[in-house]
Amino acid sequence: MFFIIGFLWRLFLASIPQYRVFWDMAAYNELAHAILRGEWAAHCCNHGAGYPLFLSLIYSIFGMDNFFAVRLIQVLLDLVSGLLIAACAKNLFGAKVSRIAFILYMLNPFTSAYTGLLLGETLLVFVVSLIAYLLVSRPAWWHWLLFGALFGYLIQIKIAYVFFIPIVALVTIGLRPKRLVLAFLGFFIVSLYALFANYAVFQKVSVIPPYRTAGGMLYASFSVGRYPELVSDFSTLSDEWRNATDEYYRYVDTKPELMHEYDQKYTEKFKERMKGEWPIFIQNTIQNIIYLWDKRFLLLFIDPFYPKDTQFLRIINISLIALFIIGIARFARKPIVVFSLIYFTALSLVFGLVISESRLTIPAYPIIILWAAYGL
């Protein structure tokens, strides 16, 4: 029954239309088109090929720009994530907790709300859920190969993961040579497309977009405040943040090969501000972490229920995180515990240094729900 409710709930959310494909959605869609034209899908700076490859597979089967097919498959994929988390809970805690985890996941509004968008969050959620399932299963040699492939694919879906996923993977897998060799082989195989694409387009050997920069984001973090995730938020942005961001996209659109100039300029400006304003940076980082985990709207970009849904979502979110803490504090040290804690912490710290975009923490919710069920 709850599977059907979960399906209908996600189908309802996925059917709420965005008025157009824009921002990151448009970029992913164009990269998917490039793949189907027989071109290498390589973006200079912002987007990996992980999600565009997923989109291109759907388009090749169901037709170009078949957004209904994308939404339906993402709905089904999120339901499979729920089944994986329920299976994790059964292996760890037994049938009772498994049922609770399944119900919580089917009804949760956070992962469900992204099934209707051309964004990689649903795919990230599935990959994280699959990693969790492998961690609680009886290990076999091919698990480590698959671990490496999945960790590599996380980076291809969300390139900022390159700053912490290798550490998460290393701590989770452990310093065992055979495991590490197999994991690296899996990572290498999954990264081959990016390596070939970046070399073909930019003559750079890199598993992520070769002109990615952090200097501007670090500097802009002084002035961004709450990241504009709703269209209505853009009127609240400071001129300083707009100027830094606009200049960044001028480089992206016209001279990405000179992105080092932009990075150097804003890195120096960031260092200069840090001399006298480091307490503000620390304060902003803490604020960013809070915003990352604050779920104030149901649907990204355009939420027809906002702000009426804010308090309801915050109550659910705080309850889940509190139960997550209770649940994980009561359990013995195992690889799934290590993975859960380091992934949760890395998401908070790495992204908190530069941005407060709350959708960046959505992929952690399968793990949160797993431990929340045990805590409950």
Per-residue model confidence as pLDDT tens digits over 132-163? 999 999 888 899 999 999 999 999 999 999 99
Listed residue (209, 170, 162, 163) closest to 353, CA to CA: 163
Q: What is the mean pLDDT of residues 353-373?
A: 96
Report the alpha-carbon distance of residue 27 to residue 43 in Å, rounded.
9
- Whether residue 358 is predicted with pLDDT greater than 90 in this model: the reply is yes
* 101 vs 335 pLDDT, higher one: 101
CA–CA distance, 189 with 166 (Å, rounded to integer) = 15
Confidence of residue 212 (pLDDT cuts 50, 70, 90): confident
Arithmetic mean of pLDDT over the chain: 93
Give residue-wise pLDDT tens across range 268-312. Answer: 999 999 999 999 999 999 999 999 999 999 999 999 999 999 999
Range with lowest mean pLDDT among 117-121, 189-193, 211-215: 211-215
Q: Residue 152 phi/psi, 5° resolution? A: -65, -40
Answer yes or no: is pLDDT of 362 > 90.
yes
Residue 223 has pLDDT above 90, yes or no: no
Assign 19 a pLDDT band (cuts: 50, 70, 90): low
Q: Who has greater pLDDT, 19 or 311?
A: 311
Q: What is the pTM of this model?
A: 0.95
| DSSP result, 163-186 | GTHHHHHHHHH-S-HHHHHHHHHH
Instruction: In whole angstroms, give the CA distance from residue 270 to residue 225.
Output: 16
Q: What is the mean pLDDT of residues 247-258?
A: 90
Whether 350 contacts 160, CB under 8 Å: yes
In 3D, which of 282, 298, 291, 295 has the Cα closest to residue 356? 291
